[in-house]
Chains A and B, each alone.
Chain A
Amino acid sequence: MTIQPYGAAAILINFEQKIQKEINAQVIELNKAILAAQLSGITYTIPTYCSLTIGYDRSAFSYETLCLLIENIKAAAFAKETNSSIPLEDKRLTIPVCYDEAFGLDIAAMAQEKDCTVEEIIQLHTSTEYRVYMLGFLPGFAYMGRLPEALACPRRQSPRVRIPAKSVGLAGYQTGIYPSDAPGGWQIIGQTPVPTFMPNQEDAFLFQAGDQVQFQAISKKDFLIISKDIHSNQFNWSSLYV
């Protein structure tokens, strides 16, 4: 772990520069410990795959003081547990996805490209558990990985101007769900009826870095039923946490 200044009002903590769940678990553990310390001079944190950015108020403490504080917080947080016992996950979620071609705009082309069937793509996508490594790109956009080798794919040559909210996409070795309508270049393979970004609720974001996610294929009919339940406030949200 290295600490360096990042501009005049932030620091960057770099962990080993690899996309690996054990490394990401350390990032999240340190982020939690820093937030729990409730230092009023820390204005924001940005945990990512293998780095943690921390913004601070320069009138509250100097760079050197902040580094000392972070070292202390880290020592206390990581002393309690050996590296291997750092909890790897926070929540486990099962997210229903309809892979029908009405939603999965690129799934047929992808099957053709990969010389397999659409069913095989669905089978691959739903049989793996993914980790939410970080949020970024859009409010509530969770970067999840890692895709099985056979599903890895490049971004689209020309990004779409508008991808509908709740679309499920693939890019590189990552998968993710568009939290809102947005332009984007991910290959779209389906859509979940479950909103992942609910701006009017206290807890606006369904995902947090550290969550564990598995997708479950549903029919178009089930998609409509769940959509209806969500709109009429009948949806049983705890059904996602099984």
Chain B
Amino acid sequence: MYNSSTLHFLKAGLWTTVQDQGRIGHQASGVPVSGAMDQGAAQLANWLVGNDKNNPVIEITLLGPSIQINQAVQIAITGANLSPKVDNVPIPMYETVAIEKGAILKFGRIQNGCRAYLAVGGQWFIQKWLASASAATTSTAKLTPDSLIKKDSLLTIQATPFIEKRSTPAPPDYESAIVVKVLSGPEFSHFSSQTIAHFFSQTYTIANDSNRMGYRLLGKELSFDSKQEVISSGIVLGTIQISNAGQPILLMRDAQTTGGYPRIAVVLPEELDRLAQLKPGEKIRFCFVG
């Protein structure tokens, strides 16, 4: 039995949460999917420490936490490069790293990407809701009290026997301007061909208030007849809806399950991980594939 918590967060960082594959299948009750924004990076981090791919990981956004690690564990960090250091010595990403009891993991300057994933090898003792440890978007303190990291948050992990060190080549640096493949959305035909051409020809900037619910995209507003009402309908991950002000909103993992704005396009599922690594201020263009 462990009576000391494995991870003690001395600083929380900007927006640090526990995430896993999310809660699929409860959208009919209004429950958002949630889960790691960059699923590929999260699963890879788990593989690097010998965990099941859907084990919880810590999702770290732009500004990392400081964590005191009170037990010898193996960790791995993937995704955004936030200059991770253990006891002030830089550590590599994309490989298994053994940590000594009492060490302090910190993050520094953001080099590229937006979200880093920290996996810790072992069994996580964490309260789940609907079979997922991902931070709930409402009543977080009640539903998933351990998953929204604050100063002095504690997480208990029972380390499993160490595995032989694993590593993968780090992916190329994330680009700050990307082209994303999309399919036409359900209300595509509500828009004039001129508006559609406008949507696909411009480069959008990710707004500062973008988050896990959605990315607001800044660009020249699209003109369309907003009086053609859309009755609230289901939302799938990666839907792009156009607000009444003519601005696109790209809906991400914590988005509501239903919405009433016209849906012009839906991004391909394989584009979501790259989107998760875009920061506010970075650029996006859409490419129509069907």
Q: CB within 8 Å of B: which residues of A?
A: 4-10, 12, 14, 17-19, 31, 43-53, 55, 134-141, 143, 180-182, 199, 204-205, 209
Contacts and interface: CB of A to CB of B under 8 A. Distances in A.
Most chain A CB within 10 A, of B232, B234, B236, B267, is at B234
Interface stretch (B23-31, B63-71, B149-157, B218-226): B23-31
B231 A49 contact: yes
A139 B236 contact: no
A186 to B, nearest CB: 14
B266 A137 contact: no
B142 A134 contact: no
Please classify the interface of chain B as helix (H, G, I), strand (E, B), loop, or mixed, using the class held by over half of its residues: loop
B53 to A, nearest CB: 16
A7 B239 contact: yes
Contact of B25 (A44, A134, A182): A44
A126 B159 CA distance: 57
17 contacts: A5-B183, A6-B234, A7-B239, A12-B186, A12-B234, A44-B28, A50-B233, A51-B231, A134-B232, A137-B258, A138-B138, A139-B29, A140-B30, A180-B142, A181-B139, A199-B129, A204-B29
Given A48-B231, A51-B234, A138-B30, 20 more contacts: A7-B237, A7-B266, A7-B268, A8-B268, A8-B269, A10-B234, A10-B236, A12-B234, A44-B28, A46-B233, A46-B257, A49-B231, A55-B236, A135-B29, A136-B256, A136-B258, A139-B29, A139-B30, A139-B32, A180-B142
B143 interface: yes
Contacts of A136: 30, 232, 256-258
Contacts, number: 114
B104 to A, nearest CB: 35
A136 B29 CA distance: 7
Nearest to A19: B231
B262 interface: no
Interface string B202-232: 0000000000000000000000000000011
Contact of B29 (A5, A140, A182): A140
A219 B148 CA distance: 39
Nearest to A54: B234
Contact of B232 (A48, A139, A180): A48
Contact of B256 (A19, A137, A209): A137
Contacts of A139: 26, 29-32, 136, 138
A205 B139 CA distance: 14
A138 B257 CA distance: 8
Nearest to A58: B269
A136 B256 CA distance: 7
Contacts of B113: none
Interface of B: 24-32, 129, 136, 138-139, 142-143, 183, 185-186, 231-239, 256-258, 266-269
Contacts of A52: 234
A50 B24 contact: no
Closest 10 CB pairs of A and B: A53-B234, A46-B234, A136-B258, A7-B266, A135-B30, A51-B233, A180-B139, A139-B31, A10-B236, A46-B27
Contacts of B234: 6, 10, 12, 46-48, 51-53
A9 B236 contact: yes
A55 B239 CA distance: 13
Contacts of B235: 46, 53
A50 B231 CA distance: 8
A181 to B, nearest CB: 7
Given A53-B234, A134-B232, A209 B186 contact: no
A205 B29 contact: yes
B12 to A, nearest CB: 22
Given A48-B234, A136-B232, A9 B269 contact: yes
A187 B32 CA distance: 24
A11 to B, nearest CB: 10
Contacts of B239: 7
B156 to A, nearest CB: 21
A137 B30 contact: yes
A14 B234 CA distance: 11
Given A7-B267, A136-B257, A47 B138 contact: no
B257 A7 contact: no
